[in-house]
């Protein structure tokens, strides 16, 4: 582990040569990219292209087999053994929003949001509650704080998941296809919250199949295919004028369905 380099301090995330395999299936094949502070990066690509695995390596939910990843001021070379305290320190720099909400069903909305700050970060409950109330208001759920997940719509549950991630005060927020489990009429409310976070200057990395949303909210788009980043650039470059034939084929199927 090493501290943040001084020659690339504008970057919140630096990934170099990241590899990950599950058995004989090499899912990531030496992926490298950077994410600037205060920007949103969208990761798009076909199913099975490595998008979610790439996202999970940024929080060590899936530990990379090789490569170097730095998130904020913590850098880990995954080619060498890393002590658990350093992994926890690495993980503490980011918050993760899952596809399926992953809320504790037996806890209220407020209890779900304060769980991380109180149990993991050992912050005072009063402080955590005060901040949670503000966050729930930010995602439009202030009046739902005493309800349980089963009493909420899928979109509301996902917004609680976003508030829960933000409650950890992360340097980076990771979204794994945050609307994929939602009914179509609920998608907009979640995307609206994420757009607001981007405007507020949070550093975001978002795996998404919502191409128009990626075009609107991100400053960088990564197109992954078969374990590599095949194309990366601004939304205008990657979505509006892709250079690779594989990217064009993918976007044509998504944007111009039969």
Tell me: the pLDDT tens digits for 231-254? 999 999 999 999 999 999 999 998
Q: How far apart are CA 113 and CA 169, in angstroms?
A: 12
6-93+171-255: CATH homologous superfamily? P-loop containing nucleotide triphosphate hydrolases (3.40.50.300)
Q: What span, in angstroms and rounded, lies between the C-alpha atoms of 204 and 41?
A: 6
Domain boundaries, given as residue ranges, for the chain: 6-93+171-255, 107-169
- pLDDT per residue as tens digits for the range 79-108: 999 999 999 999 999 999 998 778 999 999
Please state the pTM of the whole predicted model: 0.92
H runs (alpha helix) in the chain: 51-57, 84-91, 109-115, 125-138, 154-166, 184-200, 211-217, 235, 245-255
Is the pLDDT at 1 greater than 70? The verdict is no
Burial of 48 (0-12, 13-18, 19+ CB in 10 A): middle
- Does residue 6 register a pLDDT over 50? no
Instruction: Give yes or no for a contact between 161 and 102, defined as CB atoms under 8 angstroms apart.
Output: yes
The mean pLDDT value for 156-175 works out to: 95
Tell me the pLDDT band of 138, cut-offs 50, 70 and 90. very high
Give the tens place of pLDDT for each residue, 34-80.
999 999 999 999 999 999 999 999 999 999 999 999 999 999 999 99
Stretch (H or E) spanning 169: none
- DSSP conformation class of 237: I
pLDDT tens digit sequence for 146-162: 999 999 999 999 999 99
Per-residue model confidence (pLDDT) at position 5: 39
Nearest of 164, 52, 37 to residue 113 by alpha carbon:
164
CA gap 25, 95 in Å, rounded: 27
φ, ψ at 242 (rounded to 5°) = -65, 145
Q: Locate tokens 């998941």: which residue?
A: 161
Whether the predicted pLDDT of 9 surpasses 70: no
**Beta-strand runs (E) in 52-93:** 66-71, 74-77
Bridge partners, residue 175, by sequence: 97, 206
Q: Which residue has the tokens 């489990």?
A: 181
Q: How far apart are CA 71 and CA 80, in angstroms?
A: 17
Assess whether pLDDT exceeds 60 at residue 22.
yes
Is pLDDT at 128 greater than 90 in this prediction?
Answer: yes
């Amino acid at each position: 582990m090493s501290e943040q380099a001084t020659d690339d301090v504008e970057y919140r995330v630096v990934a170099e040569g990241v590899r990950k395999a599950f058995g004989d299936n090499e899912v990531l094949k030496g992926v490298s990219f950077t994410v600037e502070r205060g920007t949103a990066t969208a990761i798009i690509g076909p199913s099975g292209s490595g998008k979610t695995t790439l996202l999970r390596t940024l929080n060590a939910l899936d530990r990379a087999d090789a490569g170097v990843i730095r998130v904020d001021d913590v850098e880990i070379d995954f080619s060498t053994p890393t002590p658990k305290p350093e992994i926890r320190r690495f993980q503490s720099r980011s918050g993760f929003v899952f596809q399926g909400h992953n809320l504790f069903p037996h806890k209220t909305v407020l209890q779900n949001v304060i769980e991380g700050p109180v149990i993991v970060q050992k912050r005072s409950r009063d402080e955590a509650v005060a901040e949670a109330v503000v966050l729930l208001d930010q995602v439009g759920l202030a009046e739902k704080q005493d309800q349980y997940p089963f009493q909420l719509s899928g979109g509301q549950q996902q917004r609680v998941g976003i508030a829960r991630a933000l409650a950890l005060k992360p340097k980076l927020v990771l979204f794994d296809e945050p609307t994929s489990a939602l009914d179509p009429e609920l998608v907009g409310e979640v995307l609206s919250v994420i757009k607001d976070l981007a405007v507020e200057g949070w550093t975001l990395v978002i795996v998404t199949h919502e191409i128009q949303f990626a075009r609107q909210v991100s400053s960088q788009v990564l197109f992954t295919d078969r374990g590599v980043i095949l194309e990366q650039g601004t939304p205008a470059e990657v979505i509006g004028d892709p250079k690779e034939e594989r990217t064009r084929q993918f976007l044509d199927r998504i944007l111009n369905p039969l």
